[in-house]
Amino acid sequence: MSVIVIGGGIVGAAAAYYLTEAGLKDITLIEREKLLGTQVTQYCSGGVRHQFNTEINCKFSIESMKTISALAEKIDYKKYGYLILDMEPGMTEPRVQMQRKLGINSESLTPHEIKQRWPFLDVTGVISGSFYAEDGIADPSMLLEHYETNAKKKGAKFLLETSVKRMVKEDNRVIGVETDKDLMKADWVVLAAGVQSKELGQTIGLDIPIVDKRKYVFQIEGFDFDHPLVMEIPLGWYIKKEGSDALIGMSGKVETKPFAKQEESMIETVEASINRVPEVEKKGIKKTLSSLSDETPDKHAVIDSPLPGLIIATGFSGHGFMHSPATGRIVANMVKGELPLIDISELKLGRQQIRETVAI
């Protein structure tokens, strides 16, 4: 059985790896850049967490963390914990209760408790929060290398600097892709192209609801102490440890033309960081990074087979790295006609918003 994987980010590489792990031999991954992971993965914060507010994402984390924990030394996984700050009432406790039913022993915290444990934070406006010590950070590039190296060892082919122009459909079945070099046919095509997925879906008449959001990340000097990855909801701001420094970032804005929101987004990110961590104002900015992310309206991935011969695995909305192990296994399940590792019926292409909520 032959499979073409479109996209050389963390999700596409995971799909290629787990397809070879499942015993499939004819696997070809196509990536338009010179290196894997240059569009989104290289700018990933590296956060890995169990704490979501929908069961489906929690289940993806539970399954994926089995692999991340097993590879802890190889991918530099450190359990600094994840602290989520809720700025709206009634958010923390239902989330924590749902997580505990799934075996995730997160804890609810008051602003006073948060300030006592992490005094570098300004808790003004914080209603409550949650913390889970088993969450943390890992190195996306190391996990990407693990997928690539081991997939190649088992025979997968990686075609770099090759652009997919369109997917090819015949008698309502996807039969391959047309690249800038030739026409390639396969039994299955896996669309894991991130921000390019919407454009490629349109070539076979599919509307994949992805928007491109540009986010900015700043490396701040001199945070040489251990602290959890802190995330503020609903703003989407975060701070994480990065060696002896810290990275700060925030959810991006929809980009209609390249870098259209650059100045506005950068100022908002810095201001939010100073408000929550006053020490940031005294530190120097060592580096500024910018990238696009592929987001769906409800910030849940699309994992579905809407046409024979096609599997979509895209729109991870910033969660692709941490959920790539489970996703790769599920793609392999689908290609082999097996029951998916996790029930993915909620992640179908044509869904309405999941329970009228969004993933944090």
Structure confidence by residue, pLDDT tens digits, 90-147? 999 999 999 999 999 999 999 999 999 999 999 999 999 999 999 999 999 999 999 9
Q: Can you tell me the distance from the alpha carbon of 278 to that of 172, in angstroms, rounded to the nearest whole number? A: 57
Domain 79-135+212-295, CATH number (from 3.40.50.11540, 3.40.50.300, 3.30.9.10, 3.30.70.1050)? 3.30.9.10
pLDDT at position 97: 98
pLDDT at position 287: 85
61-85 per-position pLDDT tens digit: 999 999 999 999 999 999 999 999 9
If phi > 0 it is left, if psi is from -120 to 50 it is alpha, else beta; for residue 203 that is alpha
Q: Can you tell me the distance from the alpha carbon of 360 to that of 300, in angstroms, rounded to the nearest whole number? A: 10
Residues comprising the chain, all counted = 360
Cis peptide before 340 (omega within 30 of 0): no
Q: Which of 3-7, 39-43, 301-305, 337-341 has the lowest mean pLDDT?
A: 39-43
Q: Is the pLDDT of residue 312 over 80?
A: yes
Tell me the whole-structure pTM to 2 decimals: 0.93
2-43+141-210+298-356: CATH number: 3.50.50.60
Mean pLDDT across the chain = 92
Query: For the chain, what are the domain ranges?
Result: 2-43+141-210+298-356, 79-135+212-295
- Per-residue b or e along 118-148, where b marks 16 or more CB atoms closer than 10 Å to that residue's CB: bebbebeebebbbbbebbbbbbbbebbbbbb
Question: By percentage, how much of the chain surpasses pLDDT 70?
Answer: 94
Distance between start and end Cα atoms, the chain: 38
Cβ 263 vs Cβ 224: under 8 Å: no
pLDDT at position 235: 86
How many other C-beta atoms can be found within 10 angstroms of the C-beta atom of residue 339? 9
CA 44 vs. chain centroid, Å, equals 8
The full DSSP string for 20-33 is: HHTT--EEEEE-SS
